[in-house]
Structure 1
Amino acid sequence: MKPEFENISLIKNEEKKRFEIEIDGHFAFIDYRETGHQIALVHTEAEPELAGTGAASAVVEKTLHYIEGHQKKLLPFCPYVFAYIKKHPEWKRIVDEKFEGYDKL
């Protein structure tokens, strides 16, 4: 994660069902579904003003830390999150082994 994102807080916006970070009034976020011990990440997005800044990657990394810190298992349905974990295989440790694409990570 780029240093400029390290001190930005991750918000779990339960009303909108998304994890989000805010940079200069603009958001990068991941839509999620939570059931019991699992959190499914379904869609990652950064507002156009944040394109190319690394904000999407930062919100993914912060969300993975949140999931691990809350002892949940990840279901990475979002293609961006799935690709992030492939690129950073150390995060496979929090993916639920029952996830259909687990062996492709």
Structure 2
Amino acid sequence: MVNVGPLRIDHSPAQERYEAILNSDTSSDWPADDRVVGYLDYVAEPYQVVLTHTVVHEQYSGHGYAAQLVRAVLDDIRPSGKQVVPVCSYVQSFIAQHPEYADMAVPVPQ
């Protein structure tokens, strides 16, 4: 679990998923309980992590939660030394805009 501003990022290796959860005490716009605002699915391989899909639910879009989620996921993977295969177009775009993560990415097989 990682806290990123108003978000908590939970990792479920069994589901191969990271979830972005809006902490209940950070916003008066939503009900006072934790809400899953989005998730990032992946496939773990011996030397790589294939980042397949990033979703932020529509009612939470426009708050930068997807970027916070992807950053937390990449920061979590980096110490493992594994490379990432950004199949997800959002992850591809994020890495292109944040060159500090470019060394982790490998081309997506066609």
Q: TM-score range by the shorter chain?
A: 0.7 to 0.9
Alignment of 1:80-99 (within 5 A): 80-96=90-106, 99=107
8 Å CA contact 1:26–1:50 kept in 2: the answer is: no
Structure 1: 5+ residue stretches without partners: none
CA RMSD in angstroms comes to 2.0
Pick which of 60-69 and 20-29 moved more. 20-29
Aligned counterpart, 2:9: 10
Greater CA radius of gyration, 1 or 2?
2
Evaluate the alpha carbon distance shift between residue 16 and residue 27 of structure 1 in structure 2; reply closer, same or farther with a 3 A threshold: farther
Aligned counterpart, 2:30: none
Evaluate the alpha carbon distance shift between residue 100 and residue 48 of structure 1 in structure 2; reply closer, same or farther with a 3 A threshold: closer
Structure 2: 5+ residue stretches without partners: 23-33
Q: Deviation string for 1:2-52 (max 9, x for gaps)?
A: xx9336432222343211120141232111001102101011001122111
Aligned counterpart, 1:31: 41
State the secondary structure of the residue aligned to 1:52: coil
Alignment of 1:55-74 (within 5 A): 55-74=65-84
Residue identity (%): 25
1:79, distance to aligned residue in structure 2 (A): 0.3
1:78, distance to aligned residue in structure 2 (A): 0.4
Q: Distance in 1 between matches of 2:53 and 2:72?
A: 15
Query: Given the alignment, which residue of 55, 58, 64 partners 1:48?
Result: 58
**RCO (CA 8 Å, sep 6+): is it higher in 1 or 2?**
1
Q: Distance in 2 between matches of 1:20 and 1:11?
A: 5
Q: Distance in 2 between matches of 1:8 and 1:34?
A: 24
